[in-house]
């Protein structure tokens, strides 16, 4: 390709969808992706001996790319929210919250390669948190405006979901029928019903039937290790493959974008990316940054126009602010019956009953619950040996035979409201291989967040007990650990230039040929909805709006 019309930086849930929508409309797109491609058949080695220990086989290390400021001190009154295991005690010894990881993937398809595949639409009220509940910020459009783009994203990804839409009204059914629930998930469902709670099929990007040239799921349960079967609708297999097939899109891998270069007339003129040997410059008419909610603000802050040190598109001062993370909790225990819980689709069911922003008594912001045995990594013998069974020799073997497949875990994820103490800035001391400051993560859980987490933890325990688990043996959550999988908010979209970074079409209020098309634009996090589908829907909408200008 010669000079592209649009450069897209990053190929995750947002960048990939945005690139596809433009390429499909005939626009010449170049994607610059810092990481490599993954070959599901060669890279996701679930049939190898070491499958359980390898986790997601990241080709570019995830740890160490960002730094973090000291996290908050833990309080005795929330001792019940410490992570623990019945064999080893407290999982984290520190009296401060510990930084474990910002779990993102550098590669074609971004973090969707690692994701579980939950494909949620936002609760309509969770997009109006300021006007209705006096917290966070309103989205600059409503659910009805985003709905057609949800339909399109679900069709392109291949989402399997239930026929009853609940409050998330739909103009078309899911492209695929919901998966049947695993036996273990049905047990949790019985527990929920005893408590008067609902338990329905979770919409997921794992195929329940062959679709679009890909086979159906085989229920191996290893989605977060990378799906070797190709049925999980990751961005590389869906949006990127389709974008490349148009002939209008190219992707440059190993292209780590270092900075955007501001030109005259409030327009960005080029990007500079580094590869192993040298730096390259690419000019285009439009630039979309989609590096995820931590690396996108970093790139903008590292791209100050001449004469400024505030970063690019930061006229509001909000680039990096309003950082929201994953507020989560999981409780796990041994069930008296053999459940075969080491197999089955992770998170195949969901309880939405507390998802509305006003559903949790006394705290604004919702949450939801789903099975989390696979996400807790309790599906293989090594984790059973280390975390469940304990002991040595013959008694260990006997217990292992008795207990394997009986672990039952339920997890909850909740709203995380923006807080002025949670933000991303540039680390003044630590730099990367290109001598650029790393992103520094500041995270603080306010009292309201901990109260919401406390409700989530107590409800997980109630669900497990009602499902027949007599003794909880392990729990973990975000009270004592930053271990974020969903991150948002650091380039908020909104109607006012003073209070947001981009407008409702994801374009910078000032730099009109600059867009942000990833999770950074979320004005609020939602009540535990997994974000990838919404990120893609927002990106599709932004691309369609941009077509009016191209
Ligand atoms: C274990 C796990 C489970 C999850 N489960 C779910 C789930 O079930 N459902 C769900 O909806 N979400 C889930 N998520 C979250 C979801 O994957 C992310 O929210 C989503 O992928 C974020 O999309 P994004 O476009 O904002 O960023 P990403 O998908 O992270 O994409 C960012 C891209 O930018 C590239 N990049 C970064 N910096 C640069 C640079 N300087 N130059 C060039 N390229 C760059 C990266 O390589 C990457 O390709 C999960 C996440 C994890 C870790
Ligand atoms: S459970 Fe299904 S989607 Fe997940 S890795 Fe296995 S085959 Fe793929």
pLDDT digits (tens, 9 = 90+) for 446-475: 999 999 999 999 999 999 999 999 999 999
| Residue 261: alpha-carbon gap to chain centroid | 29
List, in sequence order, every beta strand (DSSP E) within 240-372: 249-252, 256-262, 268-274, 279-283, 286-289, 327-334, 349-350, 367-371
For residue 233, being part of any structural domain is answered with yes
**CA 312–ligand 2 middle distance (angstroms):** 40
Helix/strand/coil (H/E/C) assignment for every residue in 441-483: EECCCCHHHHHHHHHHHHHHHHHHHHCCCCEEEEEEECCCEEE
Helices within 380-446 (DSSP H only): 381-383, 393-403
Ligand 1: which residue has its CA nearest to atom 15? 486
> In testing the pocket of ligand 2, which one of 202, 232, 340 has its CB within 8 Å of the most ligand atoms?
232
For residue 58, being part of any structural domain is answered with no
Evaluate whether 66 touches 41 at the Cβ level (below 8 Å). no
Read off the pLDDT of residues 241-299 as tens digits, 9 standing for 90 and up.
999 999 999 999 999 999 999 999 999 999 999 976 689 999 999 999 999 999 999 99
Overall average pLDDT of the 186-202 stretch: 98
Evaluate whether 490 touches 323 at the Cβ level (below 8 Å). yes
- The yes-or-no verdict on residue 1 having pLDDT over 60 is no
For residue 313, being part of any structural domain is answered with yes
Residue 61 pLDDT grade (very low, low, confident, very high; cuts 50, 70, 90): confident
Evaluate whether 82 touches 13 at the Cβ level (below 8 Å). no
Evaluate whether 251 touches 257 at the Cβ level (below 8 Å). no
Which CATH number goes with the domain that contains 203? 3.50.50.60
For residue 437, being part of any structural domain is answered with yes
Count of domains for the chain: 1
Read off the pLDDT of residues 506-533 as tens digits, 9 standing for 90 and up.
999 999 999 999 999 999 999 999 999 9
118 lines ligand 2 (CB under 6 A): no
For residue 53, being part of any structural domain is answered with no
Q: Which of 53-57, 191-195, 470-474, 519-523 has the lowest mean pLDDT?
A: 53-57
pTM for the predicted model, two decimal places: 0.98
**CA 397–ligand 1 middle distance (angstroms):** 40
Please report the pLDDT score of residue 2 as a whole number. Answer: 79
Q: Nearest CA to 533 among 289, 38, 202, 246?
A: 202
Ligand 2: which residue has its CA nearest to atom 2? 217
> In testing the pocket of ligand 2, which one of 46, 214, 222 has its CB within 8 Å of the most ligand atoms?
222
For residue 381, being part of any structural domain is answered with yes
Give the separation between CA 228 and CA 45, rounded to whole angstroms.
7
The residue assigned the tokens 């295991």 is 85
Give the separation between CA 302 and CA 291, rounded to whole angstroms.
13
Please report the pLDDT score of residue 64 as a whole number. Answer: 83
Please report the pLDDT score of residue 289 as a whole number. Answer: 98
Cβ neighbours for 49, distance < 8 A, ≥ 6 positions apart: none
Give the separation between CA 97 and CA 450, rounded to whole angstroms.
12
What's the maximum distance between 2 C-alpha atoms anywhere in the chain?
76
For β-strands 327-334 and 471-477, DSSP reports them as antiparallel
Q: Nearest CA to 370 among 354, 359, 391?
A: 354
pLDDT, the chain, mean: 96
**CA 110–ligand 1 middle distance (angstroms):** 5
Please report the pLDDT score of residue 277 as a whole number. Answer: 67
**φ and ψ at residue 441, rounded to 5 degrees:** -95, 125
Q: Name the percent of the chain in helix, strand, coil, to the closest 5.
A: 25, 20, 50
- Domain hosting 189: range is 6-46+75-547
Ligand 2: which residue has its CA nearest to atom 4? 223
528 lines ligand 1 (CB under 6 A): no
For residue 68, being part of any structural domain is answered with no
**CA 49–ligand 2 middle distance (angstroms):** 18
Q: Which ligand is nearest to the CA of 300?
A: 1
**CA 226–ligand 1 middle distance (angstroms):** 13
For residue 22, being part of any structural domain is answered with yes
**CA 223–ligand 2 middle distance (angstroms):** 5
Ligand 2: which residue has its CA nearest to atom 8? 227
Please report the pLDDT score of residue 278 as a whole number. Answer: 86
The residue assigned the tokens 């890909």 is 214
106 lines ligand 1 (CB under 6 A): yes
> In testing the pocket of ligand 1, which one of 36, 63, 112 has its CB within 8 Å of the most ligand atoms?
112
């Amino acid at each position: 390709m010669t000079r592209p019309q649009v450069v897209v930086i990053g190929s995750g849930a947002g960048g990939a969808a945005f690139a596809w929508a433009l390429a499909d409309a005939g626009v010449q797109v170049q994607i610059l992706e810092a990481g490599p491609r993954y070959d599901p058949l060669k890279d996701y080695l679930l049939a190898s001996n070491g499958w359980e220990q390898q986790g997601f086989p990241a080709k570019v290390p995830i740890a160490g790319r960002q730094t973090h400021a000291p996290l908050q001190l833990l309080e005795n009154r929330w001792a019940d929210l410490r992570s623990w295991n019945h064999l080893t005690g407290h999982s984290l010894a520190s009296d401060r919250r510990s930084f474990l990881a910002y779990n993102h993937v550098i590669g074609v398809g971004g973090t969707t390669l690692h994701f579980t595949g939950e494909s949620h639409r936002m609760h309509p009220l969770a997009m109006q948190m300021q006007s209705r509940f006096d917290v966070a910020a309103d989205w600059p459009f409503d659910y009805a405006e985003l709905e057609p783009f949800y339909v399109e994203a679900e069709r392109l990804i291949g989402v399997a979901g239930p026929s009853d839409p609940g409050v998330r009204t739909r103009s078309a059914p899911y492209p695929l029928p919901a998966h049947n629930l695993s036996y273990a998930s049905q047990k949790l469902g019985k527990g929920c019903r005893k408590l008067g709670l609902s338990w329905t099929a979770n919409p997921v990007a794992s195929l329940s039937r062959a679709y679009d040239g890909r086979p159906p799921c085989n229920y191996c349960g290893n989605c977060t290790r990378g799906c070797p079967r190709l049925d999980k609708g990751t961005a590389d297999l869906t949006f990127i493959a389709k974008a490349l097939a148009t002939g209008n899109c190219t992707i440059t891998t190993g292209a780590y974008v270092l900075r955007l270069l501001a030109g005259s007339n409030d327009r960005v003129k080029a990007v500079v990316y580094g590869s192993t040997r040298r730096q390259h410059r690419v000019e285009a008419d439009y630039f979309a940054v989609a590096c995820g909610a931590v690396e996108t603000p970093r790139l903008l802050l590292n791209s100050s126009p001449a004469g400024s040190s505030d970063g690019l598109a930061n006229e509001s001062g909000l680039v990096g602010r309003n950082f929201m993370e994953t507020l989560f909790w999981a409780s796990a225990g041994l069930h008296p019956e053999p459940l075969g819980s080491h197999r089955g689709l992770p998170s195949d069911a969901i309880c939405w009953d507390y998802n509305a922003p006003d559903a949790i008594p006394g705290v604004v912001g919702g949450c939801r619950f789903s099975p989390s045995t696979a996400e807790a990594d309790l599906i293989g013998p090594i984790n059973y040996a280390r975390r469940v069974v304990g002991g040595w020799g013959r008694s260990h073997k006997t217990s292992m035979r008795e207990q394997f497949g009986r672990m039952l875990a339920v997890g909850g994820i909740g709203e995380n409201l923006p807080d002025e103490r949670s933000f991303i800035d540039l680390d003044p001391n630590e730099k990367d291989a290109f001598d650029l400051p790393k992103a520094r993560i500041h995270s603080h859980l306010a009292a309201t967040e901990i109260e919401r987490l406390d409700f989530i933890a107590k409800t997980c325990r109630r669900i497990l007990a009602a499902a027949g688990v007599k003794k909880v043996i392990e729990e973990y959550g975000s009270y004592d650990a930053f271990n974020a999988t969903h991150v948002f908010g650091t380039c908020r979209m909104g109607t006012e230039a003073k209070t947001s970074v981009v407008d409702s079409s994801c374009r910078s209020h000032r730099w009109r040929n600059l867009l942000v098309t990833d999770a950074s634009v979320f004005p609020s996090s939602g009540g535990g909805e997994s974000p990838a589908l919404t990120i893609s829907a927002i990106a599709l909408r932004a691309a369609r709006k941009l077509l009016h200008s191209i």
